[in-house]
Amino acid sequence: MAGLSLNNKNALNPPLWLLAEVTYSCPLQCPYCSNPVDIANYKDELSTEEWLRVLREARKMGATQLGFSGGEPLVRKDLEILIAESRKLGYYTNLITSGVGMDEQRISAFREAGLDHIQVSFQASDEELNNFLSGSDSFRHKLEMARQVKKQGYPMVLNFVLHRQNTDQVEDIIKLAIALEADYLELATTQYYGWANHNKEQLLPTREQIKKAEKVAHLYQEKMKGKMRIYYIVPDYFEDRPKPCMNGWGNVFLTITPDGTALPCHSARLIPGLDLPNVKDHSFEWIWKDSPDFNKFRGYDWMKEPCSSCDEKEKDFGGCRCQALMLTGDAANTDPVCSKSPLHSKLVEDIRRIESNAENNIVEKPLVFRNMRTSKSLL
């Protein structure tokens, strides 16, 4: 979402960023997936016609960036139709994919349909770890798909989600991206929601790991200037100010989940007391402008102390509502990543415990891979 210019202060902004999670099905089983752990509960998916209607309505409201995500969006057989219509409507269309389910022909069909950009995600820079983390034999296929994306003239964005198991590989990851001639490299830090939160004990990197990785990333950012843009963000757990999550609730971002639920962020479903409006029942305009959910944490009036009187509230909007809920029990609290939060020390303590377990190889909970079977067993 880099580069979107924002203004939360004045009139209601358009929902510039629409994320279409078209399915929860996925051939991969990454334990850091940000989908909810109860994916097995959501069998219904919007039909092609329903998606097309949503895309038209959202575009009318000013949505510009459109991400097709999931699950694995390639599972949807009608993806070409959705892309073609989106391009016609004037969206900048992003396909966020593992590459599994794609081949040379499909990449070219997407191009014809008008797809602007494909982001291919990898799990690691080497085959063994990549295939272990994704629970699939996918590394070589991903390499081939990345090459095809480049060859067929798309801007190539590679995405690696970083966590304890692969953070030490960061230099190899960057070298792989250089070899594949990526235009952008996203070294995306794991966000601890959904499956990732369930597996936090196993995934949270140590401060030492992060320090090293950061140094390497900055070195290459300088070195690759003008050739490849490298995005690297330190996990916010280790910061003392929270991230401006979603650039503010109901400010620029809207997710539609596979069953048509509209959410102000991917994880919002876990916040109690939300109505969870569905595009099957409501117009997109009503959902964005008037629905109680999208107004719940919009702007600044909902804030409690220390946020409400804080001179930095317009910078970070009090951080992340879901994180506030998960770590403090109340979504309206200050994100405890903030050192001004009275619960910040609790978070720091928790990180220390996880770090110390990591250093001593103590496994309190085994890594759970994301699939429908484990989802059912966790329900």
Partner 1 sequence: MMNKDAIPTLSRMFRFQWEEAQQCHVILYPEGMVKLSQSAGEIMKQVNGEASISNIIQTLSDLFDGADVSEDVIAFISEAEKNGWIELK
> Which position among 65, 125, 197, 341 is part of the footprint of partner 1 (CB under 8 A)?
65
CB proximity list for 190: less than 8 A, separation 6 or greater:
32, 161, 162, 163, 196, 203, 204, 235
Give 311's contacts (C-beta < 8 A, 6+ positions apart): none
Q: Which lies closer to partner 1 via its Cβ, residue 188 or residue 368?
A: 188
One residue of 42, 184, 300, 302 binding partner 1 per CB under 8 A: 184
The token pair at 140 is 């070589």
Binder to partner 1 among 14, 135, 299, 306 (CB under 8 A)?
14
Give me the least distance between CB of 296 and partner 1, in Å please: 24
Residues 196-255 within binding reach of partner 1 (CB under 8 A): 226
User: What are residue 174's phi and psi, to 5 degrees?
Assistant: -65, -40
Q: Counting contacts by CB under 8 A, is residue 21 touching partner 1?
A: no
Looking at the DSSP bridge assignments, the partners of residue 161 are: 188
- Contact (Cβ atoms closer than 8 angstroms) between residue 207 and residue 213: no
Contacting partner 1 (CB under 8 A), which of 11, 77, 105, 153?
153
Task: Determine which residue in the list 8, 35, 98, 119 makes contact with partner 1, applying CB under 8 A.
Answer: 119
Nearest to residue 358, comparing CAs of 207, 212, 173? 207
- Binder to partner 1 among 21, 45, 85, 116 (CB under 8 A)? 116
Phi, psi of 259 (to 5 degrees): -90, 5
Shortest distance in whole angstroms from residue 65 CB to partner 1: 6
Applying CB under 8 A, among 64, 152, 283, 357 the residue interacting with partner 1 is 64
CB nearer to partner 1: give 73 or 336: 73
Q: With contacts defined by CB under 8 A, name the span among 60-68, 122-130, 144-152, 267-275 that binds partner 1.
A: 60-68
Q: At its nearest, how many Å lie between partner 1 and the CB of residue 254?
A: 14
Helix, strand, or coil here: 17? strand
Radius of gyration, alpha carbons of the chain: 20
In contact, 156 and 182? CB cutoff 8 Å: yes
Give the CA distances from residue 256 to residues 162, 261, 288, 340, in Å, rounded to whole numbers and listed in that order: 25, 6, 12, 33
272 binds partner 1 (CB under 8 A): no
**Is residue 339 close enough to count as binding partner 1 by CB under 8 A?**
no
Instruction: List residues near partner 1 by CB under 8 A.
Output: 1-5, 14, 16, 60-62, 64-65, 67, 90, 92, 94, 116-117, 119, 153, 155, 157, 183-184, 226
